[in-house]
């Protein structure tokens, strides 16, 4: 992303960021970033990859801080604004952060830091006062540490270099044809690659415009759409579901206005979790847009995508992006041509290492291929995810069953709002299949099983059910299946 700073000189007066309806140009962003870098240096010539953590709302300040850290030679550690203090403390301890930047709204949250750590703390407003010479940064230096979602274990710090980030950004820009004429509404968390790489770094690299909202609310998002301030929109399935639910409460006149506005967007993208076909269909009915589903990981950025031009297949993640090589392998890491097999990835965007965890890094690669742990099949040239090897592939009675397939069937019922299918340890079967369901209406288990028998073979039928009012999720809306398993085991 260092190329961004060179490019920005040619787009000085072009709007880069809209933050709470205030415009900031590329020149203003560059100048603010330089001042922040100078403040961080504090008389040093180079931060030499010191970790700089920051807890700041998605905003112009966030972007300037990120760029300032990079200009000073530091490693950016964006913190999740919705995490409790123990999670913040874990990241600070793990990265051995030397600086923590915060804004007023998070002072109470991070107050224990002042006693728990010997760390330089900086308030956002103190960052834009100094100017000094800045170091030259080699593209192979570490640039950022982003933590995995931790849905299957303790979060790991994923280290990417400037070269890794640039490779990811170039691939996305080419694949989705993002240009300086695009306008991106970013409502995604910025401690995650979907928000910070896909919906922020990518449009900035292309000299496009990024807009942030003061808070997440469906009405605000639809208002931006109606004002035609967006051409590219990226979100997770949970956000599309919330927008659909809110849309259905509106009057017919407002619905019609939104219908017309949504049709003007160039592309709408979904990722960071499996997109239910029901959500895809409902959104298409509202917007006239076929959501472009893609696949990525914290360690990779975004690497597989349905095409911008051409068929977008429901339930499929699509084709390898530019600069990315994909293969499917069996349990012995031998390539299989159709699958099912584990997705393994090669490319310049693949991360450098897990932070201070050489054992985990080494075990994640085989002959320079990164082992994703996700199981897929290749059908007529398109990849389809069956699930994550550890939580979505259930081994029961000698069969390997995709939890995602069963979930998709359950979502066809009008009385199912959402669901999560998991494997539960069992002495006789290895695992039995459990289905946790958020039901809109009271459900009869016997009737439900009878309905499922008409749609699934016997070995794919859930053997036990939980009826819940909500499913455990992380901040991106991903269901934490380990917690669902624990709920079944506690029965």
Fold of 2-137: Rossmann fold (3.40.50)
The band of 401, judged by pLDDT with boundaries at 50, 70 and 90, is confident
Q: Residue 33's pLDDT is what?
A: 94
Q: CATH 3.40.50.980 region(s) of the chain?
A: 2-137
pLDDT at 470 over 60: yes
User: Greater confidence, 267 or 8?
Assistant: 267
Structure tokens at 200: 């922020």
Burial 231-240 (b: 16+ CB within 10 A, else e): bbbbbbbbbb
Cα separation of 150 and 84, whole Å?
Answer: 14
**Domain with residues 391-489, CATH architecture:** 2-Layer Sandwich (3.30)
**Are β-strands 393-396 and 382-388 bridged in parallel, bridged antiparallel, or unpaired?**
unpaired
Residue 422: Cβ-neighbour burial (10 angstroms; 0-12, 13-18, 19+): buried
The average pLDDT across 152-181 equals: 92
pLDDT at 1 over 70: no
The average pLDDT across 329-334 equals: 93
Q: CATH 3.30.300.30 region(s) of the chain?
A: 391-489
Contacts of 182 (CB under 8 A, 6+ apart): 203, 206, 208, 209, 231, 232, 266
**Tens of pLDDT along 106-132?**
999 999 999 888 899 999 988 877 788
Q: Residue 351's pLDDT is what?
A: 98
Contact predicate 474/147, CB 8 Å: no
**Tens of pLDDT along 11-33?**
889 999 999 889 999 999 999 99
**Tens of pLDDT along 63-82?**
999 999 999 999 999 999 98
**Which of 41, 50, 66 minimizes the C-alpha distance to 129?**
41
The average pLDDT across 198-222 equals: 95
pTM, full prediction: 0.87
**Tens of pLDDT along 235-264?**
988 899 899 999 999 999 999 999 999 999
Contact predicate 185/233, CB 8 Å: yes
The average pLDDT across 158-178 equals: 97
Q: Residue 397's pLDDT is what?
A: 80
**Tens of pLDDT along 139-149?**
999 999 999 86
Cα separation of 214 and 289, whole Å?
Answer: 26
Q: Residue 459's pLDDT is what?
A: 86
**Tens of pLDDT along 31-41?**
999 999 999 99
Cα separation of 265 and 215, whole Å?
Answer: 22
Q: Quote the mean pLDDT of the chain.
A: 92
The band of 339, judged by pLDDT with boundaries at 50, 70 and 90, is confident
Q: Could you write out the three-class secondary structure of the chain?
A: CHHHHHHHHHCCCCEEEEECCEEEEHHHHHHHHHHHHHHHHCCCCCCCCCEEEEECCCCHHHHHHHHHHHHCCCEEEECCCCCCHHHHHHHHHHHCCCEEEECHHHHHHHCCHHHHCCCEEEEHHHCCCCCCCCCCCCCCCEEEEEECCCCCCCCCEEEEEHHHHHHHHHHHHHHCCCCCCCEEECCCCCCCHHHHHHHHHHHHHCCCEEEECCCCCHHHHHHHHHCCCCCEEEECHHHHHHHHHHHCCCCHHHHHHHHHHHCCCCEEEECCCCCCHHHHHHHHHHHCCCCEEEEEECCCEEEEECCCCCCCCCCCCEEECCCEEEEEECCCCCEECCCCEEEEEEECCCCCEECCCHHHHHHCEECCEEEEEEEEEEECCEEEEEEECCCCEEEECCEEEEHHHHHHHHCCCCCEEEEEEEEEEECCCEEEEEEEEEECCCCCHHHHHHHHHCCCCHHHCCCEEEEECCCCECCCCCECHHHHHHHHHCC
Q: How far apart are the first and last CA of the chain?
A: 50
The band of 165, judged by pLDDT with boundaries at 50, 70 and 90, is very high
460 preceded by a cis bond (ω within 30 of 0): no
Q: Residue 5's pLDDT is what?
A: 65
pLDDT at 46 over 70: yes
Contacts of 440 (CB under 8 A, 6+ apart): 414, 415, 416, 417
Q: Residue 171's pLDDT is what?
A: 97
């Amino acid at each position: 992303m260092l190329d961004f700073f060179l490019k920005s000189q040619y787009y000085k007066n072009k709007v880069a960021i809209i933050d709470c309806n205030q415009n900031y140009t590329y020149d203003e962003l560059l100048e603010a970033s330089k001042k922040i870098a100078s403040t961080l240096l504090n008389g040093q010539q180079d931060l030499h990859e010191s970790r700089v953590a920051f807890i700041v709302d998605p905003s112009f300040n966030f972007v300037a801080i990120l760029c300032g850290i990079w200009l000073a030679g530091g490693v950016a550690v964006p913190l999740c604004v919705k995490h409790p203090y123990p999670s913040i403390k874990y990241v600070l301890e793990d990265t051995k952060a030397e600086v923590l930047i915060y804004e007023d709204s998070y002072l109470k949250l991070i107050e224990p830091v002042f006693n728990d750590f010997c760390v330089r703390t900086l308030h956002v407003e103190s960052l834009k006062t100094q100017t000094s010479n800045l170091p030259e940064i080699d593209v192979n230096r570490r640039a950022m540490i982003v933590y995995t979602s931790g849905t299957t274990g303790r979060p790991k710090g994923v280290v990417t270099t400037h070269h890794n980030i640039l490779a990811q950004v170039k691939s996305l820009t080419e694949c989705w044809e993002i240009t300086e004429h695009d306008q991106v509404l970013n409502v995604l968390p910025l401690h995650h690659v979907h928000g910070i790489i896909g919906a922020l770094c990518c449009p900035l690299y292309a000299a496009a415009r990024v807009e942030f909202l003061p808070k997440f609310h469906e009405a605000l998002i639809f208002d931006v759409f109606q004002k035609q301030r967006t051409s590219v929109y990226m979100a997770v399935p949970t956000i599309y579901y919330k927008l659909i639910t809110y849309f259905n409460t509106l009057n017919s006149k407002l619905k019609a206005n939104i219908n017309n506005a949504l049709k003007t967007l160039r592309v709408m993208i979904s990722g960071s979790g499996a997109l239910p076909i029901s959500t895809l269909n409902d959104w298409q009915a509202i917007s006239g847009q076929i959501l472009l589903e893609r696949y990525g990981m914290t360690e990779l950025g975004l690497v597989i995508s349905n095409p911008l031009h051409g068929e977008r297949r429901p339930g499929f993640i699509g084709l390898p992006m530019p600069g990315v090589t994909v293969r499917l392998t069996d349990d012995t890491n031998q390539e299989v041509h159709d699958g099912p097999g584990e997705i393994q990835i090669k490319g310049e965007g693949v991360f450098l290492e897990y932070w201070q965890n050489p054992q985990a890094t080494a075990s994640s690669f085989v002959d320079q291929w990164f082992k994703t742990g996700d199981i897929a099949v290749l059908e007529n040239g398109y990849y389809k995810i069956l699930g994550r090897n550890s939580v979505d592939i259930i081994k029961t009675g000698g069969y390997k069953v995709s939890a995602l397939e069963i979930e998709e069937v359950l979502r066809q019922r009008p009385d199912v709002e959402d669901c999560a299918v998991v494997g539960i340890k069992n002495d006789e079967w290895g695992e039995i299949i459990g289905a946790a369901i958020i039901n809109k209406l009271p459900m009869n288990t016997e009737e439900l099983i009878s309905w499922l028998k008409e749609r699934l073979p016997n070995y794919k039928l859930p053997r036990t059910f939980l009826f819940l009012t909500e499913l455990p999720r992380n901040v991106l809306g991903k269901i934490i299946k380990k917690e669902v398993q624990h709920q079944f085991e506690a029965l």
